[in-house]
Structure 1
């Protein structure tokens, strides 16, 4: 089973730039075009939040236009830049994410791996929170098919990355989330967005991966006094490949055209 993973598209109204500097819409189009060339094709595409930048109806109209070019089934959760009301009204995908509050779901029909969408956003805030309601819902969801290979998708990172200006907006109560996952060994991946960088670590006895953004990368600065900064690094996506003999293998996939193929390996 192949799961393609995009994140942090930060789509703007047509003709407007992200942060007034970067054409995030064009970068999203390039990512989707690259996605549509993958062979074999993914069984499902997931997007881990920040679909748009400011939560406006015009942005969601543009998002719907861009995302309609994805040929595979699509699963989306909101991020801190998304507006829950407008996210729901846009009906970016069916049937998931249309009438849910929060936008939690279980998707079991796309292959051997069950995909759980966990919405830990806090409306009007930039941090996330794995609160008591989220804990109860996730425990019940995981218990339904406790032995089935599972991927959990969320937006905020539930750990301290060491980058000071993004960690203040992470997911609170990450230790509680790790304790839940620890009890369900079939959780093969927890995947996040938000951090605009690819990272991986052990988490709750599983593996947690963060996805790069299709637009700017948050600067990798580990000095606790470092000022906020971003770079226009090569955009990328993740590809999660599940096989019976290995479980999930996660690949970092750069977006763009590169010299090759060359006749050697």
Structure 2
């Protein structure tokens, strides 16, 4: 069995401190093959927030893959946001544009769908370039055939039906179609602060979007939480856990059919 912890939208500087501490303990006790964080580590992209995020990540056991979100570009330092929006992320956390991990029967590609400035008023929304999609599909094509394939990005590429907010990712539908045709198994994201799963309406219908909640105080109808993803045989199990004030408890669970290898 392969097990992942999928966390997102921790928003250091506005985090739920008890939930974040308990999530760290849960990850360290869980024996996960990989811990994935799909963006928005900080609230305003401040240096002190990145320092807190880096310290917390350093306390987690096992390998990690961390991609940035829109809140990880500085909100107040306008010049940095315009010209080097993810310099702080890269100095504190790691590569911003793309990340990858292969091992233990799975291949994971992280892609940055956040931007600094954009030619639209709401800079929090997402973008994914055709070149990013080509690089990702090439990465998955080069992975061993038996690998379980996971894409990680901050913004859901296609809108969650009935979600509490929108992502409006430029290039998102074309990217989702390409990933489905490349037989990617899961596309993990955050941004909307609510957990969900649903299949992309492309290819064989077995590429699934999976969203994690938030560990911040910015709740949108769901308590702070994160996902545990397990792959065993032909089954993909996703459990959304939420913070009950003293421990993490099940909120929603999904069982998804994995495409034949």
TMscore range, shorter length: 0.7 to 0.9
Residue of structure 2 in register with 1:253 after alignment: 241
Q: Is the 8 A contact 1:51 1:63 kept in 2?
A: yes
Query: Who is 2:36 aligned against?
Result: 46
Unpaired stretches in structure 1, ≥5 consecutive residues: 13-17, 220-230, 261-265
> CA offset at residue 254 of structure 1?
2.7
Cα deviation, residue 55, structure 1: 0.6
Give the aligned partner of residue 21 of structure 2: 29
CA distance in 2, matches of 1:123, 1:163: 27
Q: Select which of 73, 88, 100 maps to 2:90.
A: 88
Conservation of the 8 A alpha-carbon contact between 1:131 and 1:173: yes
> What whole-Å deviation, never above 9, does each CA across 1:109-144 have from its counterpart, x for those lacking one?
2x1111111112112421111222212212222221
Match of 1:135? 133
TM-score normalised per structure 2: 0.78
Name the structure 2 match of 1:122.
115
Which one of the candidate residues 224, 228, 235 is aligned to 2:224? 235
Does structure 1 retain, via aligned residues, the 8 Å contact 2:5–2:229? yes
How many residue pairs align between the two structures? 225
For structure 2, the residue ranges without an aligned partner over 5 or more in a row are 74-85, 118-122, 250-261
- Indicate yes or no: 2:99 matched with 1:105: yes
Q: Provide closer, same or farther for how the CA distance between residues 259 and 183 of structure 1 changes in structure 2, counting only shifts above 3 A.
A: closer
Q: 1:43 to 1:157 in 2, by over 3 A?
A: same
- Distance across 2 between alignment mates of 1:146 and 1:177: 22
CA-based RMSD of the aligned residues comes to 2.3
* Secondary structure of the structure 1 residue equivalent to 2:29: coil
Partners of 1:197 and 1:210 within 8 A in 2: yes
